[in-house]
């Protein structure tokens, strides 16, 4: 979905990830590091937010 929305070339430019890193990380078999996911998310304007779980939610 990310690739279709912004284009892999633009994501590469914004994140500084190499072509190999992008395709390896974002493929169906990929297992990206958190920093890679955060860089891609930031490049397309998405934030990751965390909140404390309410008692009994965890």
| Greater pLDDT, 27 or 2 | 27
Lowest mean pLDDT among 4-8, 26-30, 42-46, 54-58: 4-8
Residue 29 CB partners (closer than 8 Å, separation 6+): none
Q: What is the pTM of this model?
A: 0.64
**pLDDT, averaged across the chain:** 82
Unique residue bearing structure tokens 């990751």: 48
- Residue 36 belongs to what domain range? 2-43
Whether 51 is in a domain gets the answer no
Is it the case that residue 30 has pLDDT exceeding 60? yes
Residue 17 CB partners (closer than 8 Å, separation 6+): 11, 25, 36, 39, 40
Q: How many CA atoms lie within 13 A of 6 on its CB side?
A: 16
Q: How many domains does the chain have?
A: 1
Round to whole Å and give the CA distance between 41 and 49.
Answer: 12
CA-wise closest residue to 44 among 17, 22, 11: 11
Whether 31 is in a domain gets the answer yes
Whether 38 is in a domain gets the answer yes
């Amino acid at each position: 979905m990310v690739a279709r929305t912004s284009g892999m070339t633009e994501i590469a430019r914004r994140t500084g990830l190499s072509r190999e890193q992008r395709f390896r990380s974002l493929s169906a078999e990929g297992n990206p590091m958190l920093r890679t996911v955060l860089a891609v998310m930031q490049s397309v304007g998405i934030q990751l937010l965390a909140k404390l779980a309410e008692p009994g939610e965890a």
